[in-house]
Copies of this chain bind each other. A is one copy, B any other.
Amino acid sequence: MQIEKFLIGNDFISSDAVAEIKNPYTNEVVSKAYKSGTDHINSSLDYLTEVFSKYKNSPVYLKAELLEKISLKISERKEELAKLITSETGKPVKFSRIEIDRAALTFKLGSEESKRIEGEVIDLDLLKGSENVTGIIKRFPIGLILAITPWNFPVNLVAHKLAPALASGNVVLLKPASASLTCGIEIVKIIKESCDELELDYCPVNVVTSSGSEIEKFISDDRIKMISFTGSSEVGWKLKKKINRQKISLELGGNAGVIVDQSADIKGAVAKIILGGFGQAGQSCISVQRVFVHEKIYDEFEKILIEETKKVKVGNPYKDDTDVASMITENDAKKIETWIKDAVGSGAELIAGGKRVNAVLEPAILVNTTKEMDVNSKEVFAPVITLTKFSEFKKAVEEVNDSIFGLQAGVFTENIHNAFYAFNNIETGGVIINNVSTYRMDSMPYGGLKDSGNSREGVKYAIEEMTERKVMVVT
C-alpha cells in the first residue's frame, strides 16, 4: 500500500511518522499517509505567504482554467474517488458518487465565479464639494486561508474551501480530517497536477496531515488571514476564542427540524425524510433529526414511515444499493445507542430500529420524546429521527426554533402562506420548501445561524467572505 505524502511548498514530502486510516465498516486499514509536523506547517505558511503575492496577481483566465482543470479531473476519476471516500469513511458508495459529482460542480462554479468577482461604480457627488467624484469598488483576496475540513463529505467540503479561495486569488493551507486524510491529499494532488500542466512554478495550495492540536498552535499566527472551518460546534467556537486578528468562518452542526403540514404529500415526504434522516447513517450536519407532523395526518404518516424505514438497506458500504452502513466509529454508534436508551428510559418509545452491531446503527425512530432529551437537544449525527405531533403550523415553527442550532429546516406544505411564514420565521440559514433540511445545491448560500455557525458558503458567497472590498475614489 502506497503511503501518501503531504504537500509543503511545491513538493510532496514524507516524514518518519505514518498515519493509518481504517474503513469503519470492515475495520481494515485502507490507506496510509505520512504525518506532517510543526516545522512543516511553519514552512508551508512561509511558502504560501510568498506565493500569495504571485497568485493574487495572476490573470483571471489562469485561475479559471486551473479550477476547470480540477473539476474535469475529478469528473474523469469519479469512480476511483468515490471508492476512496467509501474506503476511508464508510459512506455508501452511491452517496460517494453523488459527492464526486457535486465536488466537480463546486470547482466548476469556482472557475465560473472567478470571472465575475463583484465590482461596482458609484457616484459620490452627494454633497457640495464632491462634484464629479466617482467610486470604483473591487474585491481583493485577503491572503492565506487555513482550511480545516471534516470527514463526512471529505471531498466536496474540501472543494467548498478551495474553489472559492482559488477563484478569488487566495492561497490555502488545507488540513483534512484525520479520518479522511487521503481524500484531502488526493484533491491536492489533482490541484498540483493541474498547476504543473499550466506550467506554474508554484502551487497556491498546500496540505498537511498534522493533528488538530498541532494545527491549533498556529491558529493565531499572523501569516494566516482567515480560518475556514467546517466541523463540530464545540471545536468551531473554541477556535474562534483562540484567534487573534484573523477572520474565521464556521460551518458547524445542527439538529435539523422538518415540518410535515397537513397539506403535504405524505408519501413524498416520507421518502425524502428517510433519505435525509438515514442516508449515509445521518452523518450530515443537515440530516433530518426532529420531525414535526400535523395531527390530522400523523397516524398515516407514522405508519408509512415505519413501513418504509424497514426497506432501508443497511450493510456493506461498497454495495451499490446500500443506504446505511457503519457510523464513523464504534464509539460514536455506542454513544447514540445510549442516547436512545436514555430517551426510552425517560418515557420515549422506539418504534423502529435502534439496534447496534459494531459501528452500524439500525435506522431508528423515536416518539414521545421531550425536547430536553439528548436525541432532540443535541446533534445526533446518526440515523435517528424523532417524531412529534403538532396542531398548529406556527407552533411547529416555534418547536423547530427551540434549539441552540440554526442550520437548515425542511417544510412540507402546499400552503403558500405557511411557506413564506416559515421562511420569515424559522431561524436557520436555509428553509427548504417541500423537501428535507438535507437539500443543498452547491451554488446556494449555505450556513447557519445561532450555534450552527457564522458564515455562508456556496461558491459566490464564500468568495465574499474571502475577499475585502477596496474603493478607489476618483476626483
How does the 8 Å CB contact mask read for A263-302 relative to B, with 1 for contact and 0 for none? 0000000000000000000000000000000000000000
From A146-154, A199-207, A335-343, A434-442, the one touching the partner chain is A434-442
From A78-86, A122-130, A314-322, A389-397, the one touching the partner chain is A122-130
Some 21 contacts from A to B, beta carbons below 8 A apart, are A59-B131, A59-B132, A112-B112, A120-B120, A126-B443, A135-B441, A241-B244, A245-B451, A414-B414, A414-B416, A416-B416, A416-B419, A416-B434, A419-B474, A420-B472, A423-B472, A430-B470, A431-B473, A432-B473, A439-B475, A456-B468
- 17 additional contacts, CB 8 Å, given A61-B130, A112-B115, A433-B473? A59-B130, A61-B126, A102-B127, A116-B116, A127-B441, A130-B441, A135-B444, A136-B423, A137-B445, A240-B245, A414-B417, A416-B434, A419-B472, A419-B474, A429-B468, A445-B471, A456-B468
List of B residues within 8 angstroms of A133 by Cβ: 441
Task: Please give me the 5 A-B residue pairs with the lowest Cβ-Cβ distance, nearest first.
Answer: A119-B121, A423-B472, A416-B416, A59-B125, A124-B441
List of B residues within 8 angstroms of A247 by Cβ: 454
Q: Is the interface of A mostly helix, strand, loop or mixed?
A: mixed
In the bound complex, CA of A398 to CA of B339 (Å): 55
Task: Answer whether residue A237 sits at the interface, using C-beta atoms and an 8 A cutoff.
Answer: yes
Task: Answer whether residue A64 sits at the interface, using C-beta atoms and an 8 A cutoff.
Answer: yes
Given A115-B112, A441-B135, answer yes or no on A475-B126 (Cβ-Cβ < 8 Å). Answer: no
Task: Answer whether residue A208 sits at the interface, using C-beta atoms and an 8 A cutoff.
Answer: no
List of B residues within 8 angstroms of A470 by Cβ: 423, 428-431
Task: Answer whether residue A138 sits at the interface, using C-beta atoms and an 8 A cutoff.
Answer: yes
List of B residues within 8 angstroms of A456 by Cβ: 468-469
Task: Answer whether residue A117 sits at the interface, using C-beta atoms and an 8 A cutoff.
Answer: yes
In the bound complex, CA of A73 to CA of B179 (Å): 41
List of B residues within 8 angstroms of A435 by Cβ: 473, 475
In the bound complex, CA of A194 to CA of B334 (Å): 53
Query: A433 is contacted by which of B240, B413, B472 (Cβ under 8 Å)?
Result: B472
CB-based contact A449/B434 at 8 Å: no
Interface core residue of A60, A105, A419 (most chain B CB under 10 Å): A60
Task: Answer whether residue A461 sits at the interface, using C-beta atoms and an 8 A cutoff.
Answer: yes
List of B residues within 8 angstroms of A415 by Cβ: 414-416
List of B residues within 8 angstroms of A112 by Cβ: 112, 115
Which residues 441-462 of A have a CB within 8 angstroms of B? 441-446, 449, 451, 454, 456, 461
CB-based contact A443/B124 at 8 Å: yes
List of B residues within 8 angstroms of A244 by Cβ: 237, 241
Give the number of chain A interface residues (Cβ < 8 Å).
75
How does the 8 Å CB contact mask read for A191-216 relative to B, with 1 for contact and 0 for none? 00000000000000000000000000
CB-based contact B433/A475 at 8 Å: yes
Task: Answer whether residue A101 sits at the interface, using C-beta atoms and an 8 A cutoff.
Answer: yes
Minimal beta-carbon separation of A100 from chain B (angstroms): 12
CB-based contact A473/B444 at 8 Å: yes
CB-based contact A432/B475 at 8 Å: yes
Minimal beta-carbon separation of A445 from chain B (angstroms): 5
Query: A64 is contacted by which of B102, B126, B140, B475 (Cβ under 8 Å)?
Result: B126
Query: A416 is contacted by which of B125, B413, B430, B454 (Cβ under 8 Å)?
Result: B413
How does the 8 Å CB contact mask read for A230-254 relative to B, with 1 for contact and 0 for none? 0000000100110011010000000
